[in-house]
Chains A and B, each alone.
Chain A
Amino acid sequence: MVAAALVLGSMTGCSSGDPDAQITVLAASSLRAPFAQIAEEFQRDNPGTTVRFNFAGSSDLVAQLQQGAPGDVLATADEPTMAMATAEGLTASPTVFATNTMTIVVPIDNPAGVTGLPDLTDPELNVVVCAEQVPCGAATTRIEAASGLEIQADSEETSVTDVLNKVATGEADAGIVYVSDVATQAGSVTAIDIADDVNSTNEYPITVLAASNDQQAASAFVQTVTGPQGQRILTQAGFGPAPTASSENRS
Chain B
Amino acid sequence: MTPGPPLPRWVYAPALLGAAFILAPLGAMITRVDWNDFLALITSDSSIAALLLSLRTSTVATILCLLAGIPLALVLSRGRGRAMNLGRSMVLLPLVLPPVVAGIALLYTFGRRGLLGASFEAFGIQIAFSTTAVVLAQTFVAMPFLVISLEGALRTVGTRYENVAATLGAGPTTVLRRVTLPSVAPALASGAVLAFARALGEFGATITFAGSLQGVTRTLPLEIYLQRETDPDAAVALSLLLVVVAVAVIGLARRHPGTL
Contacts and interface: CB of A to CB of B under 8 A. Distances in A.
A63 B235 CA distance: 13
B113 A170 contact: yes
A50 B214 CA distance: 44
Interface string B228-240: 0111100000000
Nearest to A138: B230
Contacts of B132: none
B212 A155 contact: yes
Given A126-B129, A157-B207, 15 more contacts: A59-B229, A126-B128, A131-B229, A133-B227, A133-B229, A133-B231, A153-B213, A154-B129, A155-B211, A158-B225, A158-B226, A162-B208, A169-B108, A171-B128, A172-B129
Interface residues of B, number: 24
A126 B226 CA distance: 21
Contacts, number: 60
Interface in A57-116: 57, 59, 63
29 contacts: A59-B229, A128-B129, A131-B212, A131-B229, A133-B226, A133-B227, A133-B229, A154-B128, A154-B211, A154-B213, A155-B210, A155-B213, A155-B217, A156-B212, A156-B214, A156-B218, A157-B207, A158-B222, A158-B225, A162-B208, A169-B107, A169-B111, A169-B113, A170-B111, A171-B107, A171-B111, A171-B112, A172-B128, A172-B129
Interface string A169-187: 1111000000000000000
Contacts of A57: 229
6 smallest beta-carbon distances between A and B, as pairs: A155-B211, A154-B129, A133-B229, A170-B113, A133-B230, A171-B128
Interface of A: 57, 59, 63, 126, 128, 131, 133-134, 153-158, 162, 166, 169-172
Contact of B129 (A63, A158, A170, A171): A171
A107 to B, nearest CB: 9
A57 B218 CA distance: 20
Given A157-B212, A169-B107, A170-B111, A134 B129 contact: no
A134 B229 contact: yes
A228 B232 CA distance: 39
A131 B107 contact: no
Contacts of A131: 212, 226, 229
Interface string B31-57: 000000000000000000000000000
* Binding site secondary structure of chain B: loop
A59 B228 CA distance: 9
B137 to A, nearest CB: 14
Contacts of A63: 232
Contacts of B222: 158
B35 to A, nearest CB: 22
Interface string B93-133: 00000000000000110011100000000000000110000
Contacts of A134: 229
A59 B229 CA distance: 6
Contacts of A169: 107-108, 111, 113
Nearest to B222: A158
B76 to A, nearest CB: 33
Nearest to B113: A170
A155 B230 contact: no
Contacts of B210: 155
A162 B222 CA distance: 13
A170 B211 contact: no
Interface centre among B112, B128, B211, B232 (most CB of A within 10 A): B211
A58 to B, nearest CB: 9
A22 B257 CA distance: 58
A155 B130 CA distance: 9
